[in-house]
Amino acid sequence: MRRLGQILARVFGAFDWPLLLVLMLMAFMGLLIMHSAVGDTDWRFADQARNFVLAFIALWVVALTPPKWLMKLTPLLYVFGVVLLLGVEFFGETSKGATRWLDLGIVRIQPSEMLKITVPMMLAWYFHRNEGKFRLIDFFVALVLLLIPFILIVKQPDLGTALLVFMSGFFVIYFAGLSFKLLIPLVLAGVVGLSTLVYFETDICQPGVDWVVLHEYQKNRVCTLLDPGSDPLGKGFHTIQSMIAIGSGGVYGKGYMEGTQTHLDFIPERTTDFVFAVYAEEFGLYGGILLLVLYFLLIGRGLVITAGATTQFGRLLGGALAMMFFVYVFVNIGMVTGILPVVGVPLPFMSYGGTALLTLGVACGLLMSISKHRGVVR
């Protein structure tokens, strides 16, 4: 009996309970809105429930794993992920104009999702091994480690996932000590670029203009952001219908499963990228604020865990994962409300998708591992 008690204590002691409570609330809300969003496709709700179970199992397994074991596996996981991306480049399956999937015979996977986790792990491992003696060359090496998977994912093309991978790695580099002064030129270049884009929007968004660095569909998404009404029944349809749904929800919402934009099929991709439009139409402004509060608690708890970490690996990885959640939420809600271009970033724990949920579960498991194993990592 005593032995059983010790086992149970170890199993349940792996959880960070404040973080777990927030995740359980978000899982409940995610399944609640998915039930409304799926309409007649009940199998998607059942699939999403199964996805949550698998994500929870992944969270639990990772939470039980001490960071020192994770550090030993990190270089292998990073190399394995890059090799899979190369496999996608040469042997991947193409669907809807993008080559993102790799068929391994027994399972079909999207390797880019794996890099959302392994890239910040690899960079945190690298800076941990060089703790106390950072040189400019170290930041250059870290940038190369980040750009290799980023470029491979951009080529698929998958700009949304590439953005998340890049930002998760960038946060590690920044938290490791990258001077903010080095970022000022990049910020200025971004401001100048956006200003130029807005000013010359009429000329550069013409059908025959080639943007060189972006694919045609990516150019169309940016131009649609600037003027959704230019093609209201085509390229701008997603954004316009989403904004109508959010606005029609008002302060209190139309009520659960009473969203007309949703149930009359005006919102495309309502179970994935645009699920927030479904939620906002039915639960209104107050419901949206409640959801944002839960995300704030999730990110805040991640940062608290980061502040309490006793190792460089834990601090860098925890901080990057917490900020990765922020990027997820900011980009998704931004594109659904029409202030950012549509880039295919899911809303954490709300959007349908097994691979994305599994990635989020692993990320939360890593935070719990950092929280519960605070010994020195060598």
Please write the tens of the pLDDT for every residue from 4-45.
555 555 666 678 889 999 999 999 999 999 988 886 667 788
pLDDT band at residue 310, thresholds of 50, 70 and 90? confident
Cβ atoms of 181 and 147 closer than 8 Å: no
Characterize 8-28 residue by residue with b for buried, 16 or more Cβ atoms within 10 angstroms of its Cβ, and e for exposed: eeeeeebbbeebbebbeebbe
Q: Which helix (H) or strand (E) holds 100?
A: strand 98-103
Chain centre distance of CA 362: 12
Cβ atoms of 342 and 157 closer than 8 Å: no
Give the residue with greater pLDDT, 238 vs 199: 238
Q: Above 70 in pLDDT, residue 214?
A: no
Give the residue with greater pLDDT, 143 vs 207: 143
Q: Which helix (H) or strand (E) holds 94?
A: strand 93-95
Report which residue type is found at 118: T
**pLDDT (0 to 100) of residue 330:** 93
**Order of strands across the sheet with 93-95?**
93-95, 98-103, 108-109
Give the residue with greater pLDDT, 243 vs 2: 243
Give the C-alpha separation, 347 to 29, whole Å. Answer: 12
pLDDT band at residue 376, thresholds of 50, 70 and 90? very low
Give the predicted TM-score (pTM) of the model: 0.87
**pLDDT (0 to 100) of residue 52:** 93
Q: Above 60 in pLDDT, residue 375?
A: no
For the purposes of burial, counting CB atoms within 10 Å of the CB of 376, is it exposed (0-12), middle (13-18) or buried (19 or more)?
A: exposed
Give the C-alpha separation, 112 to 298, whole Å. Answer: 24
Rounded to an integer, the average pLDDT of 180-195 is: 76
Cβ atoms of 172 and 320 closer than 8 Å: yes
Please write the tens of the pLDDT for every residue from 336-365.
888 888 887 889 999 988 888 999 999 999
65: left (phi over 0), alpha (psi -120 to 50) or beta: beta
Please write the tens of the pLDDT for every residue from 77-88.
999 999 999 988
Please write the tens of the pLDDT for every residue from 251-275.
998 988 888 888 777 887 888 889 9
Give the C-alpha separation, 286 to 288, whole Å. Answer: 5
Instruction: List residues bridging with 108 in a β-sheet.
Output: 103
